[in-house]
């Protein structure tokens, strides 16, 4: 069994495509959320990416490549470059594990508009553009990965599940190098309307979209959608050492499970199982973990259930666990959320800094967590940090990182 | 345009312009008699390109022509289809 380490980080996020600068913006509490699609009947908050696809694609290469795949290619490329390249990897032992909730939403929406409401002519590359495994496939094509190239589509846990599965493959020696993460790009009017219909998006007064997502706050009312991608490079500690690569952190524990109770209602026991599972695999006690990047979607029910789960598992050690949901600042990236939040958790550990749980004043008295209330919080003793993702469908994932 | 009855109409220049606009490929860099795949226009890009050509000229290119290999061949097909469908 190999020890798994993170040697590269790459993201295309609402706070830009420099992972370190993105983390610094979070540390300052800067929100990337704003109002989108003013033409819709009801205003919607979202965090979008200012993306220059020409950095990664010629116009010709963009034929049939949806924004969701463009993000994935860019973030994976940045991660691999950050890791110092793929070195001498055997292409057949080089894998891509990618999460994606919805695939190419823009391509699908354009096809509906043209085919049903418009000219009747549907772009011929709609299928390869929107298929949910397109992002992983493009990453593999671009980087010559000939090992397993797999897509995990488990809603909000998609990319956390992808990272867990990648870690398992590296741990068992099935692959030598894995690009693990996810991408999502579904901020198009039709999808926004669907999320609004589900009553999950934050409400806000005019001009206040930036602070609309308020995890664990008494007045929380839901999340803001986000888009983007994040990838981690995972490899064994031996391989990283051999090639002189810097390791940001170890991925010491992970756990996947399902509530098995309800399609959309979260379940504290289900969450407890994966939190405990990750601790057990890492051989750590709750008191060893100093930071939790919470799922924290700021829905009325979700945050309360997550608090219960954390309180039950951490018990007397709950006060020592600093908690923040960075979704307040970067929005909910859905299928890419687990990957971006894992990346943030790794940087929190690496830099020993804790991004704030923004827009949370006053705190919900029903959420007695040690929330990171202030921007710029340092954590000089931090040794281990956990990131959790709890999905529609009941699938839960926890990733536990440690200092190396 | 003013072909005045003689069969001189060729879509080649228009296609080259469209390729430049859409894909940024300079006409000089694209030999009309070479395989388009060599210039990076693979089967998927060609399908997308044909779709746009159909839109632009309001024509429908029959499936049997969807595997043309060179730009000159494509221009000849478009000429033929335009002549028959816009008559």
Residues 6+ apart with CB under 8 A from A384: A252, A282, A284, A288, A289, A290, A349, A400, A401, A402, A403
Task: Identify the closest residue of chain A to B46 by CA–CA distance.
Answer: A63
Residue A219 belongs to what domain range? 4-242
Lowest-confidence region among A4-13, A77-86, A254-263, B8-17: B8-17
Tell me, what's the pLDDT at B1? 41
Answer yes or no: do A59 and B55 touch at CB < 8 A: no
Q: Is residue A144 part of a domain?
A: yes
* Chain B closest-CA separation from residue A178 CA (Å): 28
Answer yes or no: do A63 and B24 touch at CB < 8 A: no
- Give the residue, B43 or A224, on which the prediction is more confident: A224
Q: Is residue A101 part of a domain?
A: yes
Tell me, what's the pLDDT at B64? 82
Per-residue confidence band for B6, with pLDDT thresholds at 50, 70 and 90: very low
Question: What is the C-alpha to C-alpha distance for residues A285 and A275, in angstroms, rounded to an integer?
Answer: 11
Question: What is the C-alpha to C-alpha distance for residues A126 and A116, in angstroms, rounded to an integer?
Answer: 14
Domain identity same for A208 and A81: yes
Query: Looking at the 3D structure of chain B, how many domains does it have?
Result: 1
Question: What is the C-alpha to C-alpha distance for residues A226 and A101, in angstroms, rounded to an integer?
Answer: 12
Question: What is the C-alpha to C-alpha distance for residues A260 and A389, in angstroms, rounded to an integer?
Answer: 16
Partnered with residue A36 across adjacent β-strands are A44
Tell me, letter by letter, the H, E, C secondary structure of A37-49: CCCCCCCEEEECC
Answer yes or no: do A61 and B40 touch at CB < 8 A: yes
Residues 6+ apart with CB under 8 A from A197: none
Longest dimension (CA), chain A: 63
Domain identity same for A266 and A232: no
Answer yes or no: do A64 and B44 touch at CB < 8 A: yes
Tell me, what's the pLDDT at A34? 98
Check: CB of residue B75 under 8 Å from CB of residue B36. Answer: no
- B2, pLDDT greater than 80: no
A contact residues 47-66, partner B, Cβ 8 Å cutoff: 58-61, 63-64
**Which residues in A316-357 belong to E strands, given as ranges?**
322-324, 353-354
Tell me, what's the pLDDT at B87? 55
Q: Is residue B41 part of a domain?
A: yes
Tell me, what's the pLDDT at A97? 99
Q: Locate tokens 């409401």: which residue?
A: A117
Q: Is residue B29 part of a domain?
A: yes
Residues A359, A273, A259, A341, Cα dihedral to 10°? 40
Question: Which CATH number does the domain housing residue A302 bear?
Answer: 3.40.47.10
Q: Is residue B48 part of a domain?
A: yes
Chain A residues in contact with B49 by the CB 8 A cut-off are 63
Q: Is residue A199 part of a domain?
A: yes
Domain identity same for A205 and A266: no
Per-residue confidence band for B9, with pLDDT thresholds at 50, 70 and 90: low
Q: Is residue A247 part of a domain?
A: no
Task: Identify the closest residue of chain A to B25 by CA–CA distance.
Answer: A60
Q: Is residue B18 part of a domain?
A: yes
- A7, pLDDT greater than 60: yes
How many residue pairs bridge chain A and chain B with CB atoms within 8 Å of each other? 33
Chain B residues in contact with A64 by the CB 8 A cut-off are 44-45, 48
Domain identity same for A198 and A282: no
Identify from B26, B51, B52 which residue to disrupt to test chain A contact, counting A C-beta atoms within 10 A and taking the largest count. Answer: B51
- B5, pLDDT greater than 90: no
Question: What is the C-alpha to C-alpha distance for residues A22 and A10, in angstroms, rounded to an integer?
Answer: 11
Q: Is residue B2 part of a domain?
A: no
Tell me, what's the pLDDT at B65? 81
Residue A352 — left, alpha, or beta (φ > 0 → left; ψ -120 to 50 → alpha)?
A: left
Q: Is residue A310 part of a domain?
A: yes
Domain identity same for A235 and A351: no
Question: What is the C-alpha to C-alpha distance for residues A203 and A35, in angstroms, rounded to an integer?
Answer: 11
| 3 state SS of A32 | coil
Tell me, what's the pLDDT at B86? 66
Check: CB of residue A143 under 8 Å from CB of residue A370. Answer: no
Check: CB of residue A227 under 8 Å from CB of residue A49. Answer: yes
Residues 6+ apart with CB under 8 A from A41: none
Tell me, what's the pLDDT at B29? 87
Mean pLDDT confidence for A173-201: 97
Residue B39 belongs to what domain range? 12-85
Look at residues A193, A209, A242 and tell me which one is the last residue of a structural domain.
Answer: A242
Question: Which CATH number does the domain housing residue B25 bear?
Answer: 1.10.1200.10
Q: Is residue B4 part of a domain?
A: no
Tell me, what's the pLDDT at A207? 95
pLDDT single digits (tens) A39-97: 999 999 999 999 999 999 999 999 999 999 999 999 999 999 999 999 999 999 999 99
Per-residue confidence band for B39, with pLDDT thresholds at 50, 70 and 90: confident
Lowest-confidence region among A27-36, A148-157, B25-34: B25-34
Query: Looking at the 3D structure of chain A, how many domains does it have?
Result: 2
Mean pLDDT confidence for A132-139: 98
Cα angle: A85, vertex A93, A76; to 5 degrees: 40
Identify from A60, A111, A121, A125 which residue to disrupt to test chain B contact, counting B C-beta atoms within 10 A and taking the largest count. Answer: A60
What is the ipTM metric for this complex? Answer: 0.84
Partnered with residue A9 across adjacent β-strands are A232
| 3 state SS of B31 | coil
Answer yes or no: do B40 and A128 touch at CB < 8 A: no
Q: Considering chain A, what is the average pLDDT of its residues?
A: 97
Cα angle: A196, vertex A336, A292; to 5 degrees: 100
pLDDT single digits (tens) A213-254: 999 999 999 999 999 999 999 999 999 999 999 999 999 999
pTM: 0.96
pLDDT single digits (tens) B45-81: 999 999 999 999 899 998 888 778 999 999 999 999 9
């Amino acid at each position: 069994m190999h020890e798994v380490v993170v040697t590269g980080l790459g993201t295309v996020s609402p706070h830009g495509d420099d992972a370190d600068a993105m983390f610094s913006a979070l540390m300052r509490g800067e929100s990337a959320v704003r109002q989108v699609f003013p033409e819709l009947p009801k205003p919607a908050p979202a965090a979008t990416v200012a993306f220059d696809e020409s950095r990664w694609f010629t116009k010709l290469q963009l034929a049939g490549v949806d924004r969701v795949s463009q993000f994935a290619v860019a973030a994976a490329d940045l991660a691999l470059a950050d890791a110092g390249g793929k070195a001498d990897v055997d292409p057949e032992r080089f894998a891509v594990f990618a999460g994606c909730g919805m695939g190419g939403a823009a391509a699908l929406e354009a096809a509906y508009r043209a085919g049903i409401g418009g000219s009747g002519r549907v772009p011929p590359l709609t299928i390869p553009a929107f298929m949910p495994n397109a992002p992983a496939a493009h990453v593999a094509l671009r980087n010559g990965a000939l090992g397993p190239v797999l897509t995990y589509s488990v809603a909000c846990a998609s990319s956390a599940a992808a990272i867990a599965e990648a870690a398992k493959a590296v741990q068992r020696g099935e692959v030598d190098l894995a690009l693990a993460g996810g991408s999502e790009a579904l901020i198009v009017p039709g999808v926004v309307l669907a999320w609004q219909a589900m009553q999950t998006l934050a409400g806000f007064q005019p001009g206040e979209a930036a602070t609309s997502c308020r995890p664990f706050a008494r007045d929380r009312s839901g999340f803001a959608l986000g888009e983007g991608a994040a990838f981690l490079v995972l490899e064994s500690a031996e391989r990283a050492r051999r090639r002189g690569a810097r390791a940001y952190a170890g991925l010491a524990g992970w756990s996947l499970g399902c509530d098995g109770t309800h399609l959309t209602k979260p379940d504290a026991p289900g969450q407890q199982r994966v939190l405990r599972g990750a601790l057990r695999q890492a051989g750590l006690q709750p008191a060893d973990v100093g930071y939790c990047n919470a799922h924290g979607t700021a829905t009325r029910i979700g945050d309360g259930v997550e608090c219960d789960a954390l309180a039950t598992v951490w018990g007397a050690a709950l006060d020592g666990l600093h908690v923040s949901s960075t979704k307040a600042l970067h929005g909910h990236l859905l299928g890419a959320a687990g990957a971006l939040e894992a990346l943030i958790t790794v940087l929190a550990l690496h830099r020993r800094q804790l991004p704030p749980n923004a827009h949370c004043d006053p705190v919900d008295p029903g959420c007695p967590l040690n929330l990171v209330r202030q921007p710029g919080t340092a954590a000089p003793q931090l040794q281990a940090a956990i990131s959790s993702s709890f999905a529609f469908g009941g699938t839960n994932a926890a990733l536990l990182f440690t200092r190396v | 345009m003013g072909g005045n009855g003689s069969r001189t109409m060729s879509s080649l220049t228009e296609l080259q312009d469209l390729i430049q606009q859409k894909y940024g490929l300079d006409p000089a860099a694209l030999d009309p008699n070479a395989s388009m795949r060599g210039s990076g226009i693979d089967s998927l890009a060609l399908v997308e390109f044909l779709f746009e050509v159909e839109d632009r000229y309001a024509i429908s290119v029959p499936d049997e022509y969807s595997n043309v290999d060179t730009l000159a061949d494509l221009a000849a097909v478009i000429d033929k289809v335009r002549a028959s469908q816009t008559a």
